[in-house]
Amino acid sequence: MANMLQWSGHQGQLSFLHPFSLLLCFLLLFVFLFKKNRVETKRTNLPPSPWKLPIIGNLHQLGPLPHRGLHSLAQRHGPLMLLHFGSKPTLVVSSPDAAREIMKTHDLIFSSRPTSSFGRRLLYNHKDIGFAPYGEYWRQVRKICVLQLLSMKRVQSFQPVREEETKVMIENIKRSCSNSPSSSALVDLCEMLMSLTNDIICRVALGKKYGGEEGGGRRFRKMIIEFGYLLGVFNVGDFIPWLGWVNYVLGLEERVEKNFAEIDSFLDEVIEDHIHGKRTEYVGNYNADGGDQDFVDFLLQIQQDKSAEITLGREHIKAIVLDMFVAGTDNPQSLLEWTMARLLKHPKVMEEVQKEVRGVAFTIGSKNIKEDDIEQMHYLKAVIKETLRMHPPAPLMVPHESTKEAKIKGYDIPAKTTVIINAWAIGRDPASWDDPEEFKPKRFFNDASSIDFKGHDFQLIPFGAGRRGCPGTHFAIAVVEVALANLLHKFDWALPNGANGEALDLTESPGLSIHLKAPLLAVATPHY
């Protein structure tokens, strides 16, 4: 009995001490974690962050045009900000110095890409180049594209195709003018320029024109703009997975599936044409070392080659061709569209550049401007540079992702941080550019004369820089220069109904690449 009472007493003591012990343990753990967190906070020097809301973080501050919303935030919080989109930390870069550290000093660390559900669907599980994660597959595929389509040698060899398609465009405008009682024609520049760039990339990469039927330019423009919009649109499921159902309510999932089906059908047609030899056009002598082989033929050849360094399935080929097709069509078209819009808005600049172009044409005695003649057109090149500064085709570029911790401008950047480089904001940085909101091409004759857009001068990075810089820069610029020179040489341009430049609406449409929201309509009058 005494032993039982003694044991009972111990039990009572233990039952009393048990909750007290647990409480004491929790208090000690809380103090330990609090002190540990304070030490880590002091040790980790994160970039400044705007105030954020629970769950969504800073998503509400993006606005309908994220490059403008982020630029506004950067003006208040600095050119290096750490935002939180849902649960994802995102570093936003808005200065040349910070961009240089990301894309040059620490280029390897920031050479990968974050994943997105829409990107995975539209780009065949990221089997393309632009959105593929950094690694051996990306290196091999990029090498193929550069050697077979985008090297300086290849781009130069496509010169006859660019000049022929530019001439076709000029003749089509002239025909419209000759059929008009006023000898002038109202031209939808967006659609016309999309047809031009589409025909060029189709010929040199796919072996023949696609979408050449009536309204073909309109069809491809709609498909490509929708593709760019869906890649750039805010996808709530990527940042707050349990809210992914919102995409179905908004109809985004349905739009992704519809756009993918249209693109996939087009790419199947391209591949089947090559497999069954249905190509009917020879694209020129650019492939003298490869016979009648075009880019798609080369990819299919690699697919059949068991000894090739890389294995390509049908989806790999589709993703790679899609990258080349969209970038080769959209980037030159966007740049031409914005350049013509700026010249229409600034008629004095247009008059000056036309004087230069026509003066060169008169000197060489040529009816059509050829690419070799453009080297003498310094003002034309300055106009293109200024347009790239103000309207980079992809203002936020494709996001980067850090593969490990890094220090940028003295701040600690954790691994797996998404990095957005705001090329649009960098091009309007008052620390780098005088009167950054003004369209002044002659700035490239003065203080900015040495600045170029090829990835070495970080004040002007419309095509990115470093490992993930756009490999198609030379291709895009070659298309733009010859097309713009001939448009300005052959026609006088004006806004409809005698409107002045101030009336031109330059409102942007959202998407990965930025276009004018409204069609760019202009009156063309032949110049004799």
Question: What confidence tens digit (pLDDT) does each residue in 135-144 have?
Answer: 999 999 999 9
Read off the pLDDT band of 293 (50, 70, 90): confident
Q: Is the pLDDT of residue 13 over 70?
A: no
Spatial distance between the Cα atoms of 341 and 72, rounded to a whole number of angstroms: 24
**Residue 37 confidence (pLDDT):** 42
Would you state the pLDDT for residue 285? Answer: 43
Residue type, 180: S
H or E stretch covering 419? strand 418-421
Four-point Cα dihedral 295, 298, 299, 304, nearest 10 = 160
Q: pLDDT averaged over the chain?
A: 88
Nearest Cα to 427, choosing from 452, 471, 391, 400?
A: 391
Which two three-digit tokens encode residue 377? 């057109």
Q: Looking at 117-121, 209-213, 296-300, 367-371, which range is the least confident one?
A: 209-213
Residue 14: pLDDT over 70: no
Specify the DSSP class assigned to residue 107: T
Rounded average pLDDT over 339-353: 98
Asked whether the predicted pLDDT for residue 85 surpasses 50, the reply is yes
Instruction: Give the mean model confidence (pLDDT) for residues 99-103.
Output: 97
**DSSP bridge partners of 413:** 406
Average pLDDT over residues 318-333: 95
pLDDT band at 182 (very low <50, low <70, confident <90, very high): confident
Going by C-alpha positions, the residue among 210, 225, 196 that lies closest to residue 270 is 210
What was the pLDDT predicted at 2? 40
- pLDDT tens by residue, 428-487: 999 999 999 999 999 999 878 899 999 999 999 999 999 999 999 999 999 999 999 999
Which pLDDT score is estimated for 437? 97
Token code pair at residue 273: 């044409």
Write down the pLDDT at residue 104. Answer: 97
Do 423 and 388 meet the contact criterion of CB atoms below 8 Å apart? no
Mean pLDDT check: name the lowest of 25-29, 146-150, 254-258, 500-504.
Answer: 25-29
Taking residues 302-310, what's their average pLDDT? 88
Confidence at residue 290, expressed as pLDDT on a 0 to 100 scale: 46
Q: Give the pLDDT mean for 357-362.
A: 94
DSSP tag of 522: E
How many angstroms separate the CA atoms of 192 and 100, rounded? 37
pLDDT over 90 at 11, yes or no: no
Q: Does residue 42 surpass a pLDDT of 50?
A: no
CA gap 75, 25 in Å, rounded: 47
| 219 band by pLDDT with thresholds 50, 70 and 90 | confident
Vertex 266, ends 264 and 270: CA angle to 5°? Answer: 115
Q: Is the pLDDT of residue 490 over 60?
A: yes
Position 291 scores a pLDDT of 52
Q: For the chain, what percent of residues have pLDDT higher than 90?
A: 79
pTM listed for this prediction: 0.88
SS3 376: helix
Residue 280's pLDDT is what?
Answer: 53
pLDDT of residue 36: 41
pLDDT at position 221:
81
Helix or strand or coil: residue 90?
strand
Task: Tell which CATH architecture fits domain 59-526.
Answer: Orthogonal Bundle (1.10)
- Strand duo 515-516 + 418-421: pairing: unpaired
Q: How sure is the predictor about 44, in pLDDT bands with cuts at 50, 70 and 90? A: confident
Considering only 51-55, 363-367, 417-421, which range has the smallest mean pLDDT? Answer: 363-367
Of 13-17, 38-42, 431-435, highest mean pLDDT: 431-435
Helix intervals (H) in 391-520: 423-426, 473-490
pLDDT average, residue stretch 287-303 = 77
Residue 181 has a pLDDT of 86
Query: Are residues 264 and 314 in contact, defined by beta-carbon separation less than 8 angstroms?
Result: no
Higher pLDDT among residues 250 and 218, named by residue: 250
Q: Is residue 176 very low, low, confident or very high in pLDDT (cuts 50, 70, 90)?
A: very high
Q: Band the pLDDT of 96: cuts 50, 70, 90.
A: very high
32 pLDDT higher than 60: no
